[in-house]
Structure 1
Amino acid sequence: MTAESAVVLPVLVMFAMALVWGLLVVAAQIQCVDAARTGARAAARQDPADAVIRVTREAAPRGAKVTVGRKEDEVRVVVVAEPPVLSGLPFEVREEAVAAAEAMVGEGT
Protein backbone atom coordinates (compact mmCIF):
# COMPACT_ATOMS: atom_id res chain seq x y z
CA MET A 1 0.00 0.00 0.00
CA THR A 2 2.81 2.44 0.82
CA ALA A 3 4.60 1.84 -2.47
CA GLU A 4 1.43 2.58 -4.45
CA SER A 5 0.86 5.77 -2.46
CA ALA A 6 4.43 6.89 -3.14
CA VAL A 7 3.80 6.53 -6.88
CA VAL A 8 0.26 7.93 -7.01
CA LEU A 9 0.75 10.95 -4.72
CA PRO A 10 3.19 12.83 -7.00
CA VAL A 11 0.91 12.17 -9.97
CA LEU A 12 -2.06 13.60 -8.09
CA VAL A 13 -0.06 16.67 -7.06
CA MET A 14 1.02 17.27 -10.66
CA PHE A 15 -2.58 16.85 -11.84
CA ALA A 16 -3.80 19.36 -9.25
CA MET A 17 -1.09 21.84 -10.29
CA ALA A 18 -2.08 21.44 -13.94
CA LEU A 19 -5.71 22.19 -13.04
CA VAL A 20 -4.74 25.32 -11.10
CA TRP A 21 -2.52 26.46 -13.97
CA GLY A 22 -5.39 25.93 -16.42
CA LEU A 23 -7.71 28.01 -14.26
CA LEU A 24 -5.14 30.82 -14.09
CA VAL A 25 -4.80 30.80 -17.88
CA VAL A 26 -8.57 30.94 -18.32
CA ALA A 27 -8.81 33.79 -15.79
CA ALA A 28 -6.09 35.74 -17.64
CA GLN A 29 -7.91 35.16 -20.95
CA ILE A 30 -11.18 36.47 -19.50
CA GLN A 31 -9.40 39.54 -18.14
CA CYS A 32 -7.90 40.18 -21.59
CA VAL A 33 -11.35 39.89 -23.20
CA ASP A 34 -12.83 42.38 -20.73
CA ALA A 35 -9.91 44.77 -21.09
CA ALA A 36 -9.99 44.72 -24.90
CA ARG A 37 -13.75 45.38 -24.94
CA THR A 38 -13.41 48.20 -22.42
CA GLY A 39 -10.62 49.79 -24.43
CA ALA A 40 -12.49 49.45 -27.72
CA ARG A 41 -15.56 51.06 -26.17
CA ALA A 42 -13.48 53.97 -24.87
CA ALA A 43 -11.68 54.40 -28.19
CA ALA A 44 -14.98 54.31 -30.09
CA ARG A 45 -16.21 57.21 -27.92
CA GLN A 46 -13.21 59.21 -29.14
CA ASP A 47 -11.54 59.30 -25.71
CA PRO A 48 -7.89 60.47 -25.77
CA ALA A 49 -5.38 57.72 -26.53
CA ASP A 50 -3.70 57.89 -23.12
CA ALA A 51 -7.10 57.55 -21.39
CA VAL A 52 -7.95 54.52 -23.56
CA ILE A 53 -4.66 52.84 -22.67
CA ARG A 54 -5.06 53.66 -18.96
CA VAL A 55 -8.61 52.24 -18.82
CA THR A 56 -7.54 49.14 -20.73
CA ARG A 57 -4.54 48.50 -18.47
CA GLU A 58 -6.72 48.84 -15.37
CA ALA A 59 -8.92 45.98 -16.62
CA ALA A 60 -6.06 43.87 -18.03
CA PRO A 61 -3.84 41.43 -16.13
CA ARG A 62 -0.72 42.93 -14.57
CA GLY A 63 2.06 43.49 -17.10
CA ALA A 64 -0.20 43.22 -20.16
CA LYS A 65 0.78 44.91 -23.41
CA VAL A 66 -1.93 47.13 -24.89
CA THR A 67 -2.05 48.26 -28.51
CA VAL A 68 -4.63 50.71 -29.82
CA GLY A 69 -5.08 51.35 -33.53
CA ARG A 70 -7.53 53.00 -35.86
CA LYS A 71 -8.32 52.26 -39.49
CA GLU A 72 -10.95 54.44 -41.12
CA ASP A 73 -14.09 54.11 -38.96
CA GLU A 74 -12.89 51.17 -36.85
CA VAL A 75 -10.87 51.16 -33.67
CA ARG A 76 -8.93 48.06 -32.67
CA VAL A 77 -7.56 47.24 -29.22
CA VAL A 78 -5.23 44.30 -28.67
CA VAL A 79 -4.30 43.03 -25.20
CA VAL A 80 -1.49 40.49 -24.78
CA ALA A 81 -0.56 39.07 -21.36
CA GLU A 82 1.46 36.26 -19.85
CA PRO A 83 -0.35 34.05 -17.34
CA PRO A 84 1.05 34.66 -13.85
CA VAL A 85 2.45 31.18 -13.22
CA LEU A 86 4.27 30.87 -16.53
CA SER A 87 6.09 34.20 -16.60
CA GLY A 88 9.33 32.54 -17.75
CA LEU A 89 7.80 30.43 -20.52
CA PRO A 90 6.96 31.76 -24.00
CA PHE A 91 3.21 31.38 -23.48
CA GLU A 92 0.76 34.24 -23.74
CA VAL A 93 -2.93 34.94 -24.01
CA ARG A 94 -4.16 37.45 -26.56
CA GLU A 95 -7.46 39.13 -27.21
CA GLU A 96 -8.56 41.70 -29.75
CA ALA A 97 -11.67 43.86 -29.86
CA VAL A 98 -12.93 46.00 -32.73
CA ALA A 99 -15.58 48.71 -32.51
CA ALA A 100 -17.04 51.25 -34.90
CA ALA A 101 -15.90 54.77 -34.10
CA GLU A 102 -18.74 57.02 -33.04
CA ALA A 103 -19.21 60.35 -34.78
CA MET A 104 -18.22 63.42 -32.81
CA VAL A 105 -21.06 65.82 -31.89
CA GLY A 106 -21.02 68.84 -34.20
CA GLU A 107 -18.65 67.19 -36.63
CA GLY A 108 -19.29 68.23 -40.27
CA THR A 109 -22.96 68.18 -41.23
Structure 2
Amino acid sequence: MAGCERGRDRGFVTAESAVVLPVLVVFATALVYGLLVVAAQIRCVDAARTGARAAARQDPPDAVTEVAREAAPSGAEVTVRREAGHVRVVVVARPPLLDGLPFDVREEAVAAVEETVGAGA
Protein backbone atom coordinates (compact mmCIF):
# COMPACT_ATOMS: atom_id res chain seq x y z
CA MET A 1 0.00 0.00 0.00
CA ALA A 2 2.83 2.35 0.70
CA GLY A 3 4.08 1.77 -2.83
CA CYS A 4 0.71 2.79 -4.28
CA GLU A 5 0.62 6.09 -2.41
CA ARG A 6 4.12 6.92 -3.53
CA GLY A 7 3.13 6.24 -7.12
CA ARG A 8 0.19 8.67 -6.95
CA ASP A 9 2.39 11.50 -5.68
CA ARG A 10 4.70 11.30 -8.68
CA GLY A 11 4.39 14.44 -10.76
CA PHE A 12 2.76 16.44 -7.96
CA VAL A 13 5.86 18.64 -7.57
CA THR A 14 5.89 19.23 -11.31
CA ALA A 15 2.25 20.36 -11.21
CA GLU A 16 2.94 22.72 -8.31
CA SER A 17 5.93 24.17 -10.14
CA ALA A 18 3.88 24.69 -13.28
CA VAL A 19 1.44 26.81 -11.24
CA VAL A 20 3.93 28.65 -9.04
CA LEU A 21 6.59 29.61 -11.60
CA PRO A 22 4.34 31.85 -13.74
CA VAL A 23 3.11 33.58 -10.59
CA LEU A 24 6.70 34.23 -9.51
CA VAL A 25 7.60 35.57 -12.97
CA VAL A 26 4.62 37.96 -12.93
CA PHE A 27 5.52 39.08 -9.39
CA ALA A 28 9.17 39.71 -10.34
CA THR A 29 8.10 41.62 -13.47
CA ALA A 30 5.75 43.78 -11.40
CA LEU A 31 8.59 44.55 -8.98
CA VAL A 32 10.89 45.59 -11.82
CA TYR A 33 8.20 47.82 -13.34
CA GLY A 34 7.53 49.33 -9.91
CA LEU A 35 11.19 50.16 -9.53
CA LEU A 36 11.22 51.79 -12.98
CA VAL A 37 8.27 53.98 -11.99
CA VAL A 38 9.93 54.99 -8.73
CA ALA A 39 13.19 55.81 -10.54
CA ALA A 40 11.30 57.96 -13.06
CA GLN A 41 9.49 59.73 -10.23
CA ILE A 42 12.77 60.52 -8.48
CA ARG A 43 14.26 61.87 -11.72
CA CYS A 44 11.18 64.06 -12.21
CA VAL A 45 11.54 65.42 -8.65
CA ASP A 46 15.19 66.26 -9.30
CA ALA A 47 14.39 67.86 -12.65
CA ALA A 48 11.60 70.01 -11.24
CA ARG A 49 13.75 71.19 -8.34
CA THR A 50 16.71 71.93 -10.62
CA GLY A 51 14.49 73.89 -12.99
CA ALA A 52 12.87 75.82 -10.15
CA ARG A 53 16.28 76.80 -8.75
CA ALA A 54 17.44 77.98 -12.15
CA ALA A 55 14.23 79.94 -12.73
CA ALA A 56 14.44 81.49 -9.25
CA ARG A 57 17.92 82.79 -10.15
CA GLN A 58 16.22 84.45 -13.14
CA ASP A 59 18.01 82.37 -15.75
CA PRO A 60 16.52 82.71 -19.26
CA PRO A 61 13.45 80.49 -19.84
CA ASP A 62 15.23 78.44 -22.52
CA ALA A 63 18.11 77.72 -20.15
CA VAL A 64 15.68 76.72 -17.37
CA THR A 65 13.90 74.31 -19.69
CA GLU A 66 17.18 72.84 -20.92
CA VAL A 67 18.53 72.31 -17.39
CA ALA A 68 15.31 70.61 -16.32
CA ARG A 69 15.24 68.38 -19.42
CA GLU A 70 18.80 67.23 -18.79
CA ALA A 71 17.82 66.00 -15.32
CA ALA A 72 14.45 64.56 -16.39
CA PRO A 73 13.80 61.16 -17.97
CA SER A 74 14.02 61.11 -21.76
CA GLY A 75 10.95 62.43 -23.52
CA ALA A 76 9.74 64.43 -20.50
CA GLU A 77 7.67 67.56 -20.92
CA VAL A 78 8.86 70.58 -18.93
CA THR A 79 6.64 73.58 -18.27
CA VAL A 80 7.91 76.76 -16.62
CA ARG A 81 5.47 79.41 -15.37
CA ARG A 82 6.31 82.64 -13.66
CA GLU A 83 3.77 83.87 -11.14
CA ALA A 84 3.83 86.88 -8.84
CA GLY A 85 7.09 86.38 -6.94
CA HIS A 86 7.24 82.63 -7.67
CA VAL A 87 8.23 80.26 -10.42
CA ARG A 88 6.55 76.90 -10.98
CA VAL A 89 8.24 74.08 -12.90
CA VAL A 90 6.19 71.02 -13.87
CA VAL A 91 7.83 67.88 -15.26
CA VAL A 92 5.68 65.14 -16.80
CA ALA A 93 7.24 61.91 -18.07
CA ARG A 94 6.20 58.43 -19.09
CA PRO A 95 8.13 55.74 -17.21
CA PRO A 96 10.47 53.74 -19.46
CA LEU A 97 9.33 50.39 -20.86
CA LEU A 98 5.75 51.08 -19.77
CA ASP A 99 4.30 52.44 -22.98
CA GLY A 100 1.18 50.31 -22.66
CA LEU A 101 0.17 51.64 -19.24
CA PRO A 102 -2.07 54.73 -19.22
CA PHE A 103 -0.29 56.87 -16.65
CA ASP A 104 2.46 59.45 -16.49
CA VAL A 105 4.74 60.48 -13.67
CA ARG A 106 4.30 64.15 -12.72
CA GLU A 107 6.22 66.37 -10.36
CA GLU A 108 6.01 70.06 -9.59
CA ALA A 109 8.37 72.45 -7.80
CA VAL A 110 7.79 76.04 -6.74
CA ALA A 111 10.49 78.53 -5.75
CA ALA A 112 10.51 82.17 -4.73
CA VAL A 113 12.13 84.47 -7.27
CA GLU A 114 15.45 85.85 -6.07
CA GLU A 115 16.14 89.49 -6.62
CA THR A 116 19.10 90.16 -8.85
CA VAL A 117 21.79 92.66 -7.94
CA GLY A 118 21.24 95.97 -9.69
CA ALA A 119 17.77 95.06 -10.94
CA GLY A 120 16.21 98.18 -9.41
CA ALA A 121 18.89 100.58 -10.72
TM-score (norm 2): 0.88
2:116 to 96, 104, 109: 104
For the pair 1:71 / 2:48, whether they are aligned, the reply is no
**Separation (CA, whole Å) in 2 of partners of 1:54 and 1:87:** 24
Q: 2:16 aligns with which of 4, 28, 33?
A: 4
Is the partner of 2:97 in helix, strand or coil? Answer: helix
Shift of 1:33: 0.2
The correspondence for 2:54, drawn from 34, 39, 42, is 42
> Any idea what the Cα deviations from partners look like across 1:33-65, whole Å, max 9, x if unmatched?
000000000000000010000000000000000
Alignment partners' CA distance in 2, 1:71 and 1:46: 13
Deviation digits for residues 2-43 of structure 1 (CA, Å, limit 9, x no counterpart): 011001000000000000000000000000000000000000
Tell me the CA shift for residue 87 of structure 1.
1.6
Partners of 1:88 and 1:17 in 2: CA distance: 14
Structure index of larger Rg: 2
- Would you say 1:57 and 2:73 are equivalent positions? no
Unaligned runs of 5+ in 1: none
C-alpha distance in 2 between matches for 1:48 and 1:20: 38
Aligned length: 109
Deviation at 1:80, TM superposition (A): 0.4
Letter in 2 for 1:23: L
Instruction: Calculate percent identity across the aligned residue pairs.
Output: 77
Counterpart in 2 of 1:88? 100
RMSD after superposition: 0.9
Whether 2:27 is the aligned partner of 1:15: answer yes
Deviation at 1:105, TM superposition (A): 1.0
